[in-house]
Structure 1
């Protein structure tokens, strides 16, 4: 294998800012998310919950790609629904970044000092699945 080729990374560890609090009061912050597949992006579109409320698409998508969250045995839509808003936003951002959907930022430089920084574009803040 040539030096430039590295194995495809399909799973990414994360740590939630606040954490998911289960029914017993245990806080789960460590987890992992895998890359999304075409099926992950398409299958929620026939889910009745998404048809009734398109904003629910992000909840379904995250429940499909989160492979681990602390000691929670199964991460399903009900778990994702119970996340704090900051944790949900964190996971949505992670989903966009690892799946290469974060193209809404443009690099700009200050004309005075030359400092470079990222500027959010008009598509930033969109819902998951709306690439």
Structure 2
């Protein structure tokens, strides 16, 4: 008798997102859609040697996001300068997304409707305006 082992689930290493406000580039174009990849140990170790992090621990967030955001709209070279120029709500959104995908492995959260008390999953990575 032979048993078949189920195929392993595909490893998801990149997560799409929509910024609440958007990154405005030097030409005035706004970029909201992007993707972030899972961090590797190296992504968290290398920035610790950066003098900007030694001077200001909060700068670690900037470097981590610059290393793990793969693109933001048409912007494919995400530098610390790009992250520094994000609006505060977008930075907070990306910090939470980084934490979720690197500690929980997904971007969904279980919620309960306060009216009907039904439970359902919500994707916290966001979507285009007007979509839920």
TM-score range, shorter chain: 0.7 to 0.9
Determine the C-alpha separation between the residues in 2 that align with 1:55 and 1:71: 27
Structure 2 counterparts to residues 52-63 of structure 1, below 5 A: 52-63=55-66
In the alignment, the residues of structure 2 paired with residue 86 and residue 2 of structure 1 have an alpha-carbon distance, to the nearest angstrom, of 45
RMSD, aligned α-carbons: 2.3
1:86 maps to 89
Structure 2, unaligned runs of 5 or more = 106-116, 120-132
Deviating beyond 6 angstroms after TM superposition, the runs of 4 or more aligned structure 1 residues are: none
Q: What is the alpha-carbon distance in structure 1 between the residues aligned to residue 24 and residue 92 of structure 2?
A: 16
User: What residue number does 2:35 align with?
Assistant: 32
Which residue does 2:80 correspond to in 1? 77
What is the DSSP-based 3-state SS (H/G/I as helix, E as strand, rest coil) of the residue aligned with 2:58?
helix
1:49 matched to 2:52? The reply is yes
Query: What is the SS of the residue equivalent to 2:9?
Result: coil
> TM-score, normalising length from structure 1?
0.74
TM-score normalised by the chain length of structure 2: 0.74
**Distance across 2 between alignment mates of 1:13 and 1:92:** 14
Tell me the matched-pair count.
106
Task: State the distance in 2 between where 1:50 and 1:12 align.
Answer: 26
